[in-house]
């Protein structure tokens, strides 16, 4: 699995950010005290840099609306319709922003202190640490500068303040790192492509269409991803699991090396699922 060059988040603000760098450093180090990283503060022409031996985090405030295309992938998702949210309106309303970028090494462009050749688990641990650090900085910034919304680039989703607050105190917030992007929403049921899964388990992940709501499907996805990360390898094709008694979800391997979850039974009853079709959602 390639090591991600960076993990980024953008706080969309109603007005320019005001914060104290030293206080932010203190809160972030407190929050990450159990993760084995301790940041030092450096000023840079673009903002501030939180630096450590293994990873760094850049914090860059902008007093104007974001004009680049970073939100495009999120704005094409059908998820806000299912949630009753309007991500495009949230983006349109912002007047300032804070971009937070976590990357490997003490500063941008430098290799991590663990050496140039990292094993698979070392790469995953470093990627996890980058995600945790970016999340922690975003949470602490949001306390000082309440956002209209938060864009999380790794999972290509936009979170309302309420949804972001719900993941603020999670030790490893999978609902932030995984975006259940609808692929099919017709009479046959709801199917999801899980954006962000490759950064966590090294494989593309999807769940075939079935007549169950989004939050039900995502609870199974989160349980499977947690199991996969603890186990360290993918179960054999045809293996099955269930979150509740009488539930059967079959693990299938796709031609491209990905994973497809197929719900076959729920509540002790067989679930009719339409024949899998190629998803119409081709967004990256």
The pLDDT assigned to 107 comes to 87
The pLDDT assigned to 268 comes to 81
- Tokens at 221, concatenated: 């996805």
Residue 68 neighbours by CB distance under 10 Å: 7
The pLDDT assigned to 4 comes to 62
- Tokens at 215, concatenated: 């939050």
Nearest to 253 by CA among 204, 189, 197: 204
The pLDDT assigned to 279 comes to 39
Q: Per-residue confidence of the chain (284 residues) as pLDDT tens digits?
A: 444 678 999 999 999 999 999 999 999 999 999 998 999 999 988 899 999 999 999 999 999 999 889 999 999 999 999 999 999 999 999 999 999 999 999 988 765 544 444 566 688 899 999 999 999 999 999 999 999 999 999 999 999 999 999 999 999 999 999 999 999 776 779 999 999 999 999 999 999 999 999 999 999 999 999 999 999 889 999 999 999 999 999 999 999 899 999 999 988 888 865 544 433 343 33
The pLDDT assigned to 28 comes to 98
The pLDDT assigned to 280 comes to 37
The pLDDT assigned to 282 comes to 39
């Amino acid at each position: 699995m390639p090591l991600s060059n960076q993990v980024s988040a953008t706080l969309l603000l109603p007005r320019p950010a005001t914060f104290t760098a030293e206080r932010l450093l203190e809160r972030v180090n407190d929050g990450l005290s159990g993760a084995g990283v301790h940041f030092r503060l450096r000023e840079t022409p673009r903002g501030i840099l939180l630096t450590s031996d293994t990873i760094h985090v850049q914090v860059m405030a902008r007093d104007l609306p974001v004009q680049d295309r970073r939100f495009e992938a999120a704005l094409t998702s059908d998820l806000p319709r299912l949630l009753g949210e309007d991500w495009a309106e949230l983006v349109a309303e912002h007047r300032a922003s804070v971009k937070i970028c976590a990357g490997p090494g003490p500063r941008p462009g430098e290799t991590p202190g663990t050496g140039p050749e990292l094993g698979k688990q070392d790469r995953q641990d470093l990627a996890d640490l980058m995600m945790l650090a970016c999340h922690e900085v975003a949470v602490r910034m949001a306390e000082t500068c309440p956002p209209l919304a938060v864009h999380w680039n790794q999972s290509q989703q936009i979170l309302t303040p309420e949804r972001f607050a719900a993941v603020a105190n999670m030790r490893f917030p999978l609902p932030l790192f995984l975006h259940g992007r609808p692929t099919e929403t017709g009479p046959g049921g709801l199917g999801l492509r899980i954006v962000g899964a490759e950064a966590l388990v090294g494989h593309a992940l999807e769940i075939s269409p079935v007549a169950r709501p989004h939050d039900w499907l995502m609870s199974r996805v989160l349980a499977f991803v947690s199991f996969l990360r603890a186990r360290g390898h993918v179960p054999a094709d045809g293996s099955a699991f269930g979150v509740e008694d009488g539930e059967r979800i079959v693990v299938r391997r796709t031609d491209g090396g990905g994973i497809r979850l197929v719900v076959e039974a729920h509540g002790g009853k067989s679930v009719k699922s339409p024949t899998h079709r190629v998803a119409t959602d081709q967004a990256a």
